[in-house]
Structure 1
Amino acid sequence: MLERTLEPEVMDSEAEARDYDQMDHSQVNRIFVEDFLSSLHRFGVADTSGIHVFDAGTGTALIPIELMQQGFAGNVTASDLAESMLAVARRNVQAADLSASINVVLRDCKQLPEPEATYDAVMSNSIVHHIPDPGKVLAELWRVLKPGGLLFVRDLVRPASIEAVEKLVLTYAGDSNEHQQRMFRESLHAALTLDEVAAILQELGVDANSVKLTSDRHWTICCRKS
């Protein structure tokens, strides 16, 4: 099994923010949002107008924007620890004319200022692999979620070998520039295995079966807080 190799927790240079924003995330983001909305509906949320969502590690806010464009009627607090990412996120939100629905904020998701049970739903795409101790982030996301709320977290799964890493880089970033390929490669090395995520959930008192493999490179936590 490939050992986990940590990468920088914060992608906070202009080059990283620009390259990340310019990578084609459209299909991944669309599927993420479709799955998130489907999970809300499955847990009985038919009307999203009063729903307040926390997006942990929003990057350049592409997922909250996609969420609104798919008909979500609530509002989103979109958070990140990287000022460079947030600068691009604010421009993206403004360009999409969604400033009234998406609030872009600076947050360290290992230690959130929000009180317990603040949000109706918490979502996150690809923040966990950035964190040296990802249990801290998952614990905080669970803490700020209201009882009955949806936790929906998706991230990369660490492949079993370097060969498997390179196959994924070629498949999903083969047309990207060298810096973008390196970011994806390093993220795969820093990602968690399904068993590692399940163990963290168990420590938090969350059903370990809430995490499942959902693609050839992703795991997803989907559960309702009792």
Structure 2
Amino acid sequence: MQRIPEPELMDEAGQVLAYAQADFAASDAAMVERLAQLCGDDPGTALLDLGCGPGNISLLLAGRWPAAKVLGLDGAPRMLAVARERLAGVSPDLAARLRFVQALLPLAAAGELEAHFSAVVSNSLLHHLHDPAALWQTVAQLGAPGAFVYVQDLRRPDNGEAVETLVAAEMASAPEVLRHDYRASLHAAFTPEEVQQQLEQAGLAAQLQVAPRQERYLEVWGRLN
């Protein structure tokens, strides 16, 4: 099935509300535990969450590793507004270690985002990018030497029938906006082979590896030289 790109930003009011109210707790927690498994439970103390959206993963990272500071980066202002609102409901210690910044990839210049992050994490950002090289450029730009990288994303099914099967199975009781977006995301996702080509073009193939994960994901992980 040929890839069909979708809008890069998710910032419509209805979208933001639906994602803010949705319960992704189980899948988000599973991703963070997968990260812990792959990095030996030591991602370092400066963590970057690319495409953080309403802050789900960022909050979990800060909670999972109390010695770490976490930066959530996203291009959608409404999503970031939700993330910042959530800081009011967490402990002062956690809130002090977590901040959110609005920026679009690729970054023109690192600016205040110096290349010192000990881990670069991303959940479901890659398929939104019209130019996937922007993600890998940012990973290389902001990750410190030896930084651990973990990227999880959807992988594109073989055909439209498989897309509809996943939508029916995963989003049976979800609001229509989430069903619509999930369908679009599956069409926009990459295959592991395509991601491997992206890594080769970015000069990261010797450092990062890609593999299918479960029924609908792919994952990329490794350490930067």
Once residues 163 and 24 of structure 1 are traced to their aligned partners in structure 2, the CA distance between those partners, rounded to angstroms, is 26
Q: 1:88 to 1:105 in 2, by over 3 A?
A: same
* CA shift digits 1:104-145 (9 cap, x unpaired): 110112115426632111000001111101112212112211
Q: Is 1:54–1:77's contact at 8 Å kept on the other side of the alignment?
A: yes
* CA shift digits 1:75-98 (9 cap, x unpaired): 111011000000001011221233
Q: Is 2:110–2:141's contact at 8 Å kept on the other side of the alignment?
A: no
Corresponding residue for residue 171 of structure 2: 173
Q: 1:4 to 1:72 in 2, by over 3 A?
A: farther
Corresponding residue for residue 141 of structure 1: 139
Instruction: Find out whether 1:11 has 2:6 as its counterpart.
Output: no
Q: 1:85 aligns with which of 79, 88, 92?
A: 79
TM-score, normalisation: structure 2: 0.92
Once residues 99 and 107 of structure 2 are traced to their aligned partners in structure 1, the CA distance between those partners, rounded to angstroms, is 19
Q: Is 1:109–1:141's contact at 8 Å kept on the other side of the alignment?
A: no
- What SS does the corresponding residue of 1:206 show, helix, strand or coil? coil
Q: 1:152 to 1:139 in 2, by over 3 A?
A: same
Q: Which moved more, 1:151-160 or 1:11-20?
A: 11-20
Deviation at 1:55, TM superposition (A): 0.6
2:181 counterpart letter in structure 1: M
Corresponding residue for residue 211 of structure 2: 212
Aligned length: 220
Deviation at 1:185, TM superposition (A): 0.6
Once residues 18 and 96 of structure 1 are traced to their aligned partners in structure 2, the CA distance between those partners, rounded to angstroms, is 20
Identity of aligned residues (%): 32
- What SS does the corresponding residue of 1:213 show, helix, strand or coil? strand
- What SS does the corresponding residue of 2:95 show, helix, strand or coil? coil
Gapped regions of structure 1 (runs ≥ 5): none
Deviation at 1:39, TM superposition (A): 2.3
Corresponding residue for residue 48 of structure 2: 54
Q: Which moved more, 1:52-61 or 1:139-148?
A: 139-148
Gapped regions of structure 2 (runs ≥ 5): none
Corresponding residue for residue 156 of structure 2: 158
Q: How does 1:31-50 map to 2 (within 5 A)?
A: 31-41=30-40, 45=42
| Superposed CA RMSD | 1.7
Q: 2:122 aligns with which of 99, 124, 147?
A: 124
* CA shift digits 1:153-199 (9 cap, x unpaired): 11000101111001111111111011110011111111111110000
